[in-house]
Structure 1
């Protein structure tokens, strides 16, 4: 088993989404002692944002790219190859201002490559990252699950479906900004959910 862990909090330390993602990975490795693990910390090593220069590089044929364009595309290529090689992807995804972090959005933008991780057909887009299990550790300062302020979960589900990741489990730690008692309850709940999804 090849495990890929993506930490997308802006915090390198003290992140609840990373703590829960670490717990998921620990359970996976306990059940699969020979599993390999690759970690990508998007706070420590942020992926470049999708800008005009990047778009120009991506839409330039490979044999016509200059050195700077080739180097930029290679960054995305390495990220895609890492995801393709994974059997299990574990993502720490905190909610910032009702959505995903800019760090995770940059990872998504790099991962979505027409003809590589998805393709367009006459019947619509088809995801090509098939046969992988995904676990997502979501942390939030307030309580948003199943409510009108939860713009994060639909975005995550839509993106995963778009690239073919259709076996996804979510673990929630909500109320992290509402005092010590709420934090304790959130952590206990998240740990129970980890145990439930990793039986």
Structure 2
């Protein structure tokens, strides 16, 4: 099994989503013999905003453009090779960090991970499992603010469009509402993580 771990929070050791994503990966390492983990830190090594780049005749391109094309392809290959993708995704201003959006723009590519047909769009990246570790300062799920949650809705739509039907969200909500609530939310999220592999089996 190949696992791709992505962190997108710039908060380093203060990040809730980094802590939770690491816990999921630790569980996979413990319980799945031979799991191969590829790690990409989208905050520490941020991808630039996507711009159109030619993939043809790479050797003839300027060195900086060639390097960017090759990095984009490396990101794509990491995604295509992964059986499981573990994503640390904090909610920023009701959505996802721009660092994570830049990664999405590298893997959502017509002809590679989806295609348009006479019957409508078809995802080409099925058969994967995605586990999203979500951190929110307030409470959104099953509250009057749920309509403002463009983070989970966006990620569900993106991966469904690419053909991924197995996607799970583990949320730590209310982490901005004091130390006691933060601790309780983290404890609840860690408890849910304990069942991640059991559910996958």
- Matched residues in 2 for 1:188 and 1:20: separation? 10
Q: State the TM-score, normalized to the length of structure 1.
A: 0.92
- Matched residues in 2 for 1:117 and 1:92: separation? 21
Deviation readout 1:149-186 (Å, 9 max, x if unpaired): 21111101000111122111110000110001101110
Deviation at 1:70, TM superposition (A): 3.2
Question: Who is 1:84 aligned against?
Answer: 80
Question: Who is 2:56 aligned against?
Answer: 62
Question: Who is 1:32 aligned against?
Answer: 32
- Matched residues in 1 for 2:85 and 2:116: separation? 24
Is the contact between residue 9 and residue 94 of structure 1 (CA under 8 Å) also seen in structure 2?
yes
Q: State the TM-score, normalized to the length of structure 2.
A: 0.91
Is the contact between residue 94 and residue 140 of structure 1 (CA under 8 Å) also seen in structure 2?
yes
4+ residue segments displaced more than 3 Å: none
Question: Who is 1:181 aligned against?
Answer: 180
Deviation readout 1:105-148 (Å, 9 max, x if unpaired): 00001111111111111111111112111111000111011312
Structure 1 runs not aligned, ≥5 long: none
The 5 A counterparts of 1:162-181 are 162-181=161-180
Deviation at 1:61, TM superposition (A): 6.0
Structure 2 runs not aligned, ≥5 long: none
Deviation at 1:12, TM superposition (A): 2.5
Is the contact between residue 55 and residue 69 of structure 2 (CA under 8 Å) also seen in structure 1?
no
